[in-house]
A and B are shown apart, each in its own frame.
Chain A
Amino acid sequence: MAATDLALPARWTRSKSNNGIGLPAAPGIATAYLTLIVLIPLAAVVWRATSDGTSGFFEAILQPQALAALRLTFIASLAACALNAVFGTILAWVLVRDDFPGKALINALIDLPFALPTIVAGLTLLALYGPHSPLGVHLAYTQAGVGLALLFVTLPFVVRNVQPVLMELDLEAEEAAASLGASQLTTFRRVILPSLMPALLSGVSLAFARSMGEFGSLVLMSGNIPFKTEVASVHIYGQIESGDVAGAAALSVVLLAVALVVLGLVALFQRRAARGS
């Protein structure tokens, strides 16, 4: 157990139970709690989304402003996750293979976006890159600002997924490649990266799920301009406030579907990672 687990804590073993002493009531209580707290409310959203019929559902999600919000969220999330895939790998590399004073502190800092409330994240980015920026960089009310906020909140995912794999890597393969004359870049590309790929993809998927639903950091930063900087979650919020609950539910179902697909992908990649190691 460690900070890694905050990304998506390690799954329990899915094999058969260890024939220990089971608490007879435990499964029932656990299922009831989860159903009451999570499953029923989510099912209610799905129900509400279709309460105007299938045509009502599609009408709601094909509304121009809703589509624009979904498109922006999708593209901004992809961009932010792709960037953090690169930087995250670099960060993981530096934290595992390099040594410098203060490394422990930097390592601890990586988890800050997990621990910091999203509204505070938004405020901190606004402080440095908003209208009163001491650096003269003004990213508020722009799509770049949206991307920046998503970069912040998805920073730890790839790092934390790649770090353990990087640490376990057998250096023999790399040394062999070097002795055969491969450059550092080639070694990285053909020896190291393939082993990292499942963990990297799993991290990117988690990051993507996270950024599709991101809300708090964007509320202050993006200006929420319809068709320009309004993301899906903010649009949903606006719909709830203006009384269009069915429309909000319809868009939420789309986001839920994306989340389920991503969770499925993550499970797939984690299985590949386990098989590979």
Chain B
Amino acid sequence: MAARLALRGVALGYLALLLALPLGIVFFNAFGGGFHQAWAAITQPDALHALWMTVLVTAIAVPANTIFGIICAHALVRSDFRFKRVLDAALDLPFAVSPVVVGLALFVVYGRTSPVGAWLLAHGIHVIFALPGLVLATIFVSLPFVVREVAPTLAEIGTEQEQAAAVLGANAWQTFWRVTLPSIRWGVIYGVVLSTARSLGEFGAVSVVSGHLAGQTETLTLFVEDRYQAFDPVGAYTAAVVLALLAFATLGAMNWLAAKEKSKWQSLPATSEKASATTSP
């Protein structure tokens, strides 16, 4: 009994010191000068523009990765092709690569000194230090989430329904739109939630390719750093609060969706069956 309480104490204490207390201080610092001061800080033009940039970049990156994710999952699970194992392994790269390296990679490919970059610039297309660079960086880092959620789902639901549709005369596309997609929708939605959270929070990669032009190429995460460096702690903390609230919303959505998936929800993830089924050698 004592051991149980001790373990509980250690666990909760650890979480409090590492997660809860620091977050609490951020909220405290943001609203310490009163709600009006915080509101003024977050509604200044640069802050609003940064929020807009974050939303815009996410609104482009997430749908792109969703479409790719569904297509890729379909390819991995329903087709056989030569580079399937390579593709599957490569999908994990965005998880393991440092965000700064992502930024550098884009800088090398699309910067002024590369042939690709020079050609684009000559045709008036700015990638680095402009919106397309931010979008490409964000797409890179949030790329695998939808695939990795949809593929197991697709594998699990099996092909009977699709085969039935084929027997009834549907062609490949009709089957895909009307049978496959609806059955994987919760996997898609969950992947979209994770992908969105990752896109909203991206910092390192966009930091390299953005140029930090306040009011033009700053996202909300870059804005937090910018305000901190500019001796504007309230500005930094209020922007951080907005991002933290978005993070909480993500956590809420994740848990709500997990509940929808599992009829008996004890607030614990219970996907070991799926996990073991999908890690077959």
Contact B15 A109 (CB under 8 A): yes
Q: Which residue in chain B gives the minimum CB-CB distance to A32?
A: B68
Contact B72 A33 (CB under 8 A): yes
Contact A120 B224 (CB under 8 A): yes
* B contact patch SS: helix
CB-contacts of A31-88 with B (<8 A)? 31, 33-34, 37-42, 44-45, 47-48, 87
Q: Tell me the minimal C-beta distance from A21 to chain B in angstroms.
A: 5
Q: Tell me the minimal C-beta distance from B10 to chain A in angstroms.
A: 6
Q: Tell me the minimal C-beta distance from A267 to chain B in angstroms.
A: 8
- CB neighbours (8 Å) of A249 from chain B are 104, 108
Interface string of B238-260 (1 = CB under 8 A from A): 00100110011011101101100
A-B residue pair count with CB separations less than 8 angstroms: 395
CB-contacts of B152-193 with A (<8 A)? 152-155, 158-159, 162-163, 165-166, 172-173, 175-176, 186-187, 190
User: How many chain B residues have a CB neighbour from A under 8 Å?
Assistant: 128
Q: Tell me the minimal C-beta distance from A209 to chain B in angstroms.
A: 4
In the complex with contacts A12-B151, A12-B154, A37-B136 CB distance below 8 A? yes
Check: B215 CB closer than 8 A to any chain A CB.
no
Contact A37 B140 (CB under 8 A): yes
- Interface 9-mer from A159-167, A172-180, A222-230: A159-167
Q: Which residue in chain A gives the minimum CB-CB distance to B79?
A: A22
Q: Which residue in chain A gives the minimum CB-CB distance to B240?
A: A120
Check: B42 CB closer than 8 A to any chain A CB.
no
Bound-state CA distance A37–B68 (Å) is 11
Interface string of B195-239 (1 = CB under 8 A from A): 001001111100110000000000001101100100000001100
Partner of A119, one of B143, B152, B203: B203
Check: A146 CB closer than 8 A to any chain B CB.
no
Check: B100 CB closer than 8 A to any chain A CB.
yes
Bound-state CA distance A40–B191 (Å) is 25
Bound-state CA distance A33–B202 (Å) is 20
Contact A123 B8 (CB under 8 A): no
Contact B247 A116 (CB under 8 A): yes
- CB neighbours (8 Å) of B76 from chain A are 12, 30
Q: Tell me the minimal C-beta distance from B214 to chain A in angstroms.
A: 15
Contact A9 B269 (CB under 8 A): no
Partner of B26, one of A44, A48, A127, A248: A127
- CB neighbours (8 Å) of A115 from chain B are 197, 201, 247-248, 250-251, 254
CB-contacts of B251-280 with A (<8 A)? 251-252, 254-255, 257-258, 261-262, 267-272, 274-280
Contact B11 A30 (CB under 8 A): no
Check: B59 CB closer than 8 A to any chain A CB.
no
Q: Which residue in chain A gives the minimum CB-CB distance to B73?
A: A12
Extra 17 A-B pairs, beta carbons < 8 Å, given A34-B72, A256-B101: A11-B278, A12-B152, A21-B165, A22-B75, A23-B75, A27-B87, A31-B87, A91-B11, A91-B15, A104-B267, A127-B26, A127-B29, A127-B237, A155-B18, A213-B101, A214-B98, A249-B108
Residues of A within 8 A of B (CB): 1-6, 8-24, 26-27, 29-31, 33-34, 37-42, 44-45, 47-48, 87, 90-91, 93-98, 100, 103-104, 106-120, 123-125, 127-129, 134, 148, 151-152, 155, 160, 163-165, 167-168, 184, 206, 209-210, 212-216, 219-220, 232-234, 236-237, 240, 245, 248-249, 252, 255-256, 259-260, 262-263, 267, 270-271, 273-275, 277
Closest 9 CB pairs of A and B: A213-B98, A9-B148, A117-B201, A2-B269, A104-B267, A41-B105, A12-B151, A20-B159, A259-B96
Residues of B within 8 A of A (CB): 3-4, 7-8, 10-12, 14-15, 18-23, 25-26, 29, 68, 71-81, 83-85, 87-109, 113-114, 136, 139-140, 143-145, 148-149, 151-155, 158-159, 162-163, 165-166, 172-173, 175-176, 186-187, 190, 194, 197, 200-204, 207-208, 221-222, 224-225, 228, 236-237, 240, 243-244, 247-248, 250-252, 254-255, 257-258, 261-262, 267-272, 274-281
